[in-house]
């Protein structure tokens, strides 16, 4: 299922990946060592590698899914800077000295406690000054607006054991519990998604 999903999502993710690149390239120092957790199609890390010629991307996901990401990296011309680490993101090591850890469209699959543990694990793999960047559907506090992020909660209710679409307040709580000093948000128009940055 995840292989089919990874292949199908590439064209849909293009506006989101370009939005992420626009946010990251605003930083005063470009990330060189990027970890893409549950990389799927790999386009978040791949698009960053295309724009940042000194960036080395490491992708973690199931072996069959990483085959899709590897093919996309070859097509994009960044395969020489694209490393794959097959395995379960909860079990394999994430390494150290990462300037950026990507948790793109991953946290919404899990409950609050797990959503704290993942940024915490990411934090332990960061270099000084590194960032963790999540891409999520973030509803307002009323949880009925904007329409698509609010509706996404129902999608997670029906397709995951404990997933949800979390508000900015909930992400702030997760980030601070995981040990981050700052949690910031940037919308990615025209898409309904938001970049959540833990620093």
pLDDT at 4: 74
> What is each CA distance from 85 to 39, 63, 99, 172, in whole angstroms?
10, 8, 18, 29
Specify the DSSP class assigned to residue 145.
-
Q: In total, how many domains does the chain have? A: 1
pLDDT-based confidence at 14, cuts 50/70/90? confident
For residue 178, give the CATH number of its domain. 3.40.50.150
Tens of pLDDT, residue by residue over 24-41, are 999 999 999 999 999 999
Tens of pLDDT, residue by residue over 161-191, are 999 999 999 999 999 999 999 999 999 999 9
pLDDT-based confidence at 129, cuts 50/70/90? very high
Q: Which domain, by its residues, includes 193? A: 2-198
Q: CA 147, 135, 153 angle in degrees (round to 5)?
A: 35
The SS3 assignment for 112 reads helix
Peptide bond into 190 cis (omega under 30): yes
pTM: predicted TM-score of the whole model, two decimal places: 0.94
């Amino acid at each position: 299922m995840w292989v089919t999903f990874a292949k199908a999502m590439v064209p849909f993710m293009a506006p989101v990946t370009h939005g992420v690149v626009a946010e990251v390239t605003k930083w005063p120092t470009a990330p060189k060592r990027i970890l893409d957790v549950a990389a799927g199609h790999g386009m978040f890390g791949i698009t960053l590698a295309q724009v940042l010629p000194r960036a080395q991307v490491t992708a973690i996901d199931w072996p069959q899914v990483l085959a899709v990401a590897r093919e996309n990296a070859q097509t994009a011309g960044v395969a020489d800077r694209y490393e794959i680490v097959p395995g379960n993101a909860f079990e394999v090591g994430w390494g150290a000295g990462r300037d950026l850890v990507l948790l793109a469209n991953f946290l919404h699959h899990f409950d609050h406690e797990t959503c704290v543990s993942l940024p915490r694990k990411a934090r332990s793999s960061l270099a000084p000054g590194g960032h963790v960047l999540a891409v999520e559907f973030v509803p307002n506090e009323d949880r009925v607006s904007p329409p698509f992020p609010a509706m996404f909660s129902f999608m997670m209710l029906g397709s995951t054991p404990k997933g949800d679409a979390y508000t900015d307040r909930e992400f702030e709580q997760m980030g601070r519990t995981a040990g981050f000093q700052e949690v910031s948000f940037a919308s990615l128009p025209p898409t309904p998604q938001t970049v959540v940055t833990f620093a």
